[in-house]
Amino acid sequence: MKLISNVLLLIILSGLVACSPQIKKQSATTIELNSGWQFSEADQNEWRTASVPGCVHTDLLNHELIEDPFYRLNEHNMQWIDKKDWEYKTTFTIDKSTYSKEQIALNFEGLDTYADVYLNDQLILKADNMFRGWEVDCKNVLNEGENTLRVYFHSPIKVGLDIYDNYPYVVQSSANDLAKIGQVPGEKWVSPHVRKAPYQFGWDWGPRLVTSGIWEPVTLKAWDNAQLVTIHTQQKVLNDSEAKLTSTFEIEATADETAQLAINIDGQQLANKKVHLKKGTHTYPIDFTIENPQRWWSNGLGEAHLYQLEGELSTSAGTESFEHTLGLRTIELVREDDEVGRSFYFKLNGQPVFMKGANYIPNDVFLDRVSPEKYEHIIKSAADCHFNMLRVWGGGIYEKEIFYDLCDKYGILVWQDFMFACNMYPGHPEFLESVKHEADYNVRRLRNHPSIALWCGNNEILAAWFGWGWKEDNEKTQPEGAKAMWQAYKDIFLDVLPSAVNEFDPDRQYWASSPQAGDTIRTNKIDGDEHDWRIWFQDVPFITYHDGAARFVSEYGFQSFPELKTVKKYALPEDYDINSEVMKSHQRSFIGNGAIKRYMDNYYRNPKDFESFLYVGLLLQAEGIRTGIEGHRINMPTTMGSLYWQLNDVWPVASWSSIDYYGNWKALQYFTRKAFAPIMAVPDTKTDDLLIYAVSDKFEDTPAQLNLEILDFEGKQLWSHSADVNIKANTSTIVFKEALKSLLKNINTSQVVLSTKLSVDNKLVYETTSYFKEAKDLILPKPNINTKVEKVAKGYQITVSTDKLAKNLYLSYDEAEGWFSDNYFDLLPGESKTIVFETKEDINNLQKQLLIRTIQDTY
């Protein structure tokens, strides 16, 4: 959603002069103040050009005053930056026409974090919260002509330390506040006290780089009579014939006046209304109806149809507009008693929908570096792999508008956390008041997006207090502090945040903490959502994901390092060892390398070198999470959600991500495209029986043909089965079962592969390969792989074929930026596969330079 600037409207309307007898007079002038900025370390008076939106780290980097913080161990040398105060300044000119307006306000959409704002050397604002915007009436200190604007940023660490040292108790934080790396005196946890992005203080996948700066745009708005602050559109009735809606205009007026309101949908006026404005800020509803409405559906279930809504306010001073997209749909979190316990699933447009997706974190530790193209790549990658939900995790940021616009466009529902994660928080009145403003601001900002499905109070705080020993530890060491922290929890997550949702977005539901069981304290498998970390922390087999899945799994994951071409961007060849200082610094999980190595020993042979280790590690992660996704889906409808940790990265690192920092798909991302397929057949080869589960997201039964083959690695068929099956709607059913003992009689299971194919109307819709032994126990042949490369519009078309099984065939070309349309796949003997290497670069003789690897090449 956005206010249409005066300049933009004049441009649009200028194009209509020939066909329109009148151009509407505009009541408001909006001026962007995002250029001409300079910055300096406070009191040093060494001014250099700055970027707004931006931050001090990227400004220092742009002037080559610091080295790349992500390269090798440079992060550790950057910790002085957050201990300093910094200043930003600019000048701007106000013409007579603008200055003559009745009201003029400065709007800062985001200040990070402790900022004193001076206009013409007068203090007009003291900001203390990164997560909200600030609007300041400023006409009384503004000059006609030239003006100076200066923002003084106090060190968030120094401010945090002052609060910490004077607070009556220590507010519990997690090990993710990397105060040691941050060189904080006494290694004190200041992050709970500071309302800025928690992940910047360090996490088990991220660096410690605590920023300051003007991280969102700055504008000046001048207006007469009245301004249209915002519009909130609520759906009252939705059926096949009509949608009845109400748009509530929030208007600030300088005096009582008569005004005209109008609603346009896709350029057609559907309603108008005369209203009597009252002085001050008030709301004015206007009802309208859309005939034969098209619903907004999540990815895979139908079109994510969007209408364009424009609301107009016309007064004697002119007309002002406010736009937002509109998606017509119903969304409900269903919590009902059933034979298992209590349900936890989302119903979209009256239909239960299994949620397929991941947890999402910011795309960079420096937020100004995330381009629109990067946002598009991440969200489109999710959509292309059949995701229908992303959880915006509570340790990052309330994302920028473009993120939600793209989720609206691609049909990705959003589980939206408030920005609280893995910490207890203070509960004094000033902190609670700041949180209230933060919550109000962001709920109001995001509520018109059809993609928003749920508001969630926090990440893992309830689980930490009652399950990680925090409650007991604090009751022993600081009993009054323990009592105060739990009261603060209740004040924030059971009062302030749900009150904001109830007041400003009453049509959506609120869930206090993730994970949580019912309305009580912790998770369990028969109720609520679960963070399932058994595999990572308890060394249990991947197949455990198939056992007793929870109602909704909102976190689970397994790590990998990125591929070599990414490692090359932050390390040197002498660092190519997971135990080198550089690689350990880019591995923030305290058990990370050990867990990867233990699981790798369980499933794969020991890789012969570092590059092979990276490749096998990527497969290990992909196989593990694929097993998890399939385990959740075959447990439909008991389990109705699978959101793995995590989709993306904030820097190049070993992490749980499926897309690395540079946007490269890991093996896991390719595997999700198959594991989240709308219709699939899941073989289970790890029990006494061979079981084939048919899983469908569709709302109708689907007749299909199931074809099974057991082949040896040379391509000889040892067994086959074909049958017509009925794939039941929106659930999982077993469509084949046979005892493995009889099925595999006289078959060497170390040398065979199970091919499973599913066809609908004789068209192949799903295929997969499975094994009866782990990869380390397979006797794999050396395949002869042939390639044929052709130049095509998007890059290069590559056809690969093999005479013998090529397990987890991997293609790479590190000398050009690009993307392979498929990778890490099994290629059966005698079969060929055509993929595309999408790149804008011209490559001489790609066929000879293309690197191809299979599992057999790693030992």
Q: What is the pLDDT of residues 417-430, one digit of tens each?
A: 999 999 999 999 99
Instruction: Please report the DSSP string for 590-658 in residue order.
Output: TTHHHHHHHHHHHHSPPPSSHHHHHHHHHHHHHHHHHHHHHHHHHTTTT--EEEES-S--SSS-BBS-S
Q: What are phi and psi of 602, to 5 degrees?
A: -75, -30
CA dihedral sign of residues 637, 638, 641, 644: negative
Top pLDDT among 14 and 693 is at: 693
pLDDT at residue 735 above 80? yes
Contact (Cβ atoms closer than 8 angstroms) between residue 800 and residue 832: yes
- DSSP type of residue 304: B
Mean pLDDT of the region 433-450: 98
The pLDDT confidence band at residue 22, using thresholds 50, 70 and 90, is very low
Q: Which pLDDT belongs to residue 519?
A: 60
Q: Which pLDDT belongs to residue 25?
A: 62
What length is written for the chain?
A: 859
Ordered domains of the chain (ranges, CATH): 29-218 (2.60.120.260), 227-316 (2.60.40.10), 331-675 (3.20.20.80), 679-777 (2.60.40.10), 785-858 (2.60.40.10)
Can you tell me the distance from the alpha carbon of 796 to that of 841, in angstroms, rounded to the nearest whole number?
10
Tokens of 354: 């299994």
Q: What are phi and psi of 643, to 5 degrees?
A: -115, 100
72 Rama class: left (phi>0) / alpha (psi -120 to 50) / beta = left
The pLDDT confidence band at residue 522, using thresholds 50, 70 and 90, is low
Q: Which residues pair with 31 in a beta bridge?
A: 220
The pLDDT confidence band at residue 845, using thresholds 50, 70 and 90, is confident
Tokens of 385: 């792999």
The pLDDT confidence band at residue 547, using thresholds 50, 70 and 90, is confident
Q: Which pLDDT belongs to residue 853?
A: 96
Q: Which pLDDT belongs to residue 680?
A: 97
Question: Nearest CA to 508 among 455, 457, 456?
Answer: 455
The 10s digit of each residue's pLDDT in 306-340 is 999 999 999 999 999 999 999 999 999 999 999 99
Cα-based distances in Å from 80 to 57, 84, 192, 441: 11, 7, 20, 32
pLDDT at residue 192 above 80? yes
CA dihedral sign of residues 693, 694, 697, 700: negative
The 10s digit of each residue's pLDDT in 473-488 is 999 999 999 999 999 9
* SS3 of residue 265 by DSSP: strand
Q: Which residues pair with 117 in a beta bridge?
A: 125, 151
Can you tell me the distance from the alpha carbon of 501 to that of 510, in angstroms, rounded to the nearest whole number?
7
Pairing mode, strands 806-812 and 825-827:
antiparallel
Q: Burial, 705: exposed, middle or buried (Cβ in 10 Å; 0-12, 13-18, 19+)?
A: middle
pLDDT at residue 197 above 50? yes
Lookup result for tokens 């609120």: 510
Q: What is the mean pLDDT of the chain?
A: 94
Mean pLDDT of the region 578-583: 95
Mean pLDDT of the region 509-524: 80
Number of Cβ atoms within 10 Å of the Cβ of 698: 14
Q: Which residues pair with 796 in a beta bridge?
A: 791, 837
Can you tell me the distance from the alpha carbon of 644 to that of 629, in angstroms, rounded to the nearest whole number?
8
The 10s digit of each residue's pLDDT in 378-394 is 999 999 999 999 999 99
Which pTM was predicted?
A: 0.94
